């Protein structure tokens, strides 16, 4: 089980990187390589979800239906 850490240790570089990534995401300011990686990740996630649902007889075990 993954434990939640309410206040993970972060230094200034971590905070700056997070803010930069958040701003980039909100503006949609990705270059072609990043868009391609995001599209591949999304396709892989959907394929895995569909495989899990297919293996469970059409039921989604995570949502309970």
- Supply the pLDDT for residue 44: 96
pTM assigned to the model: 0.59
User: Which are the contacts of 29, defined by CB distance < 8 A and separation ≥ 6?
Assistant: 23
Instruction: Indicate whether 63 pLDDT > 80.
Output: no
- Supply the pLDDT for residue 60: 67
Mean pLDDT of the chain: 86
pLDDT, tens only, 1-24: 567 778 888 899 999 999 999 999
pLDDT, tens only, 39-55: 999 999 999 888 887 88
Q: State phi, psi for 59 to the nearest 5 degrees.
A: -95, 145
């Amino acid at each position: 089980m993954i434990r939640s850490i309410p206040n993970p240790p972060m230094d200034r570089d971590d905070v700056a990187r997070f803010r930069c990534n958040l701003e980039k995401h909100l503006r949609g300011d990705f270059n072609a390589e990043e868009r391609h990686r995001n599209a591949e990740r999304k396709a892989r996630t959907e394929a895995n979800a569909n495989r899990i649902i297919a293996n469970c007889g059409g039921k989604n075990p995570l949502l309970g239906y």
